């Protein structure tokens, strides 16, 4: 099957490259540890020139052979590659944002190969406390393309990670979202705080410890916040109630529990209802499994996991930008 598009998900720590055929079907994919903060440094020849630029080197490593075989392939990229620290900055677009208005806002950088790389802008929600996303918007739009238009009214799309996003959608648009720095705070606490001193990485996930952390967070909902409960990750170890290997999963459950408790409160207030929306999760399967477990405990009863959201989103944006045609003649 003939390739029609190269799609790049280029973040801070990793670069994923997809070679896509008609309809966004994945023909081949690769994953490199060449995010924008850890680009290659070893010079090499590209298009007859010695190259030292990290973005060029990573791009060539990711898909140079694909372009050698089929030079006319258009290229689209999302993620931190479009940030101020990226290859070319793609300014944020305001909410509400959809495939159409993001697709006509791509920024272009010409590579040494003479191939244009089209970069997707991020999305900004302007308010007293502004919120931004870069890369997640593509995943959300990839999920929305396969949903009926009316589905957005009772739907929340979650993207767990270092900076977890919870996105409200309507009429095919991203209209509002919240960010929780849960994953990054977990890493900082484990690696740079007193809580990490007594913790040991377990051989496997400790579901009992994780559930205990979630329940502690839920039990103090509206009374005290994580700055108070966090110390229990140490004190329960000191009293012998949590083993060293159980403490990391307890801390994970505690932080995720506080995140989801706050999320439930916000959703009930915005909707003026005790009813909680359905959830679609996008992201790492193991992390989504933790969130799904905690969401159930928090009263979010309908949780599903999306697949290939990034590839679908990049395909749709390329169509909207006119880089490819959705149904090419054969």
Summarised one tens digit per residue, pLDDT across range 257-283 is: 999 999 999 999 998 988 999 999 999
Q: What is the pLDDT of residue 152?
A: 62
Q: Which domains does the chain have, with CATH numbers?
A: 5-178+309-320 (3.30.420.300), 181-299 (3.30.420.310)
Q: Model's pTM, two decimal places?
A: 0.92
Q: What is the pLDDT of residue 330?
A: 41
CA–CA dist 31, 111 (Å, integer)? 20
Contacts of 133 (CB under 8 A, 6+ apart): 122, 123, 165, 167, 177, 179
> Chain-wide mean pLDDT for the chain?
94
Beta strand residue intervals within 152-289, DSSP E: 155-159, 164-170, 173-180, 278-281
Mean pLDDT, rounded, for 12-20: 97
* Residue length of the chain: 330
The tens digit of pLDDT for each residue in 32-47 reads 999 999 999 999 999 9
The tens digit of pLDDT for each residue in 123-172 reads 999 999 999 999 999 999 999 987 876 666 689 999 999 999 999 999 89
Provide the b/e sequence for 102-141 (b: ≥16 CB within 10 Å): bbebbbebebbbebebbbbbbbbbeeeeeebbbbbbbbbb
Q: What is the pLDDT of residue 329?
A: 46
Q: Kind of pairing, strands 116-119 and 107-110?
A: antiparallel
Q: Which residue has the higher pLDDT, 285 or 151?
A: 285
Q: Kind of pairing, strands 123-125 and 131-133?
A: antiparallel
Confidence category of residue 285, pLDDT binned at 50, 70, 90:
very high
Q: What is the pLDDT of residue 322?
A: 97
Q: Is the pLDDT of residue 205 over 90?
A: yes
Confidence category of residue 252, pLDDT binned at 50, 70, 90:
very high
Confidence category of residue 224, pLDDT binned at 50, 70, 90:
confident
Q: What is the pLDDT of residue 328?
A: 53
**Residue 17: strand pairing partners:** 8, 30
* Residue at token pair 């006119």: 322
Q: What is the pLDDT of residue 150?
A: 61
């Amino acid at each position: 099957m003939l390739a029609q598009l190269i799609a790049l998900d280029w973040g801070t720590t990793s670069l994923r490259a997809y070679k896509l055929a008609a309809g966004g079907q994945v023909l081949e994919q690769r994953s490199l540890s060449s995010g924008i903060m850890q680009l290659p440094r070893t010079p090499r020849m590209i298009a007859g020139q010695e190259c030292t630029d990290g973005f060029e080197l990573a791009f060539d490593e990711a898909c140079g052979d694909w372009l050698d075989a089929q030079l006319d392939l258009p290229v689209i990229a999302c993620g931190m590659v479009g940030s101020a620290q990226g290859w070319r900055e793609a300014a944020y677009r305001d909410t509400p944002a959809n495939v159409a208005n993001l697709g006509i806002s791509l920024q272009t950088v010409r590579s040494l190969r003479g191939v244009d790389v089209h970069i997707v802008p991020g999305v900004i929600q302007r308010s007293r406390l502004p919120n931004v996303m870069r890369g997640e918007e593509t995943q959300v739009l990839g999920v929305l393309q396969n949903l009926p238009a009316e589905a957005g009214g009772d739907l929340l799309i979650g993207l767990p990670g270092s900076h977890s996003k919870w996105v409200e959608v309507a009429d095919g648009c991203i209209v509002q979202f919240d960010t929780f720095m849960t994953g990054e705070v977990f890493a900082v606490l484990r690696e740079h705080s007193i809580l990490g001193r007594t913790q040991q990485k377990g051989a496997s996930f400790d579901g009992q410890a994780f559930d205990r952390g979630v329940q502690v967070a839920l039990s103090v909902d509206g009374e005290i916040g994580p700055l108070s409960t966090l110390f229990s990750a140490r004190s329960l170890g000191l009293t012998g109630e949590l083993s060293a290997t159980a403490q990391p999963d307890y801390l994970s459950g505690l932080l995720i529990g506080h995140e989801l408790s706050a999320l439930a409160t916000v959703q009930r207030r915005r909707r003026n209802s005790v009813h909680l929306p359905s959830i679609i999760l996008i992201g790492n399967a193991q992390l989504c499994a933790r969130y799904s477990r905690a969401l159930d405990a928090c009263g979010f009863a309908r949780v599903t996991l999306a697949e290939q959201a990034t590839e679908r989103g990049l395909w749709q944006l390329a169509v909207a930008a006119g880089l490819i045609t959705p149904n090419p003649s054969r």
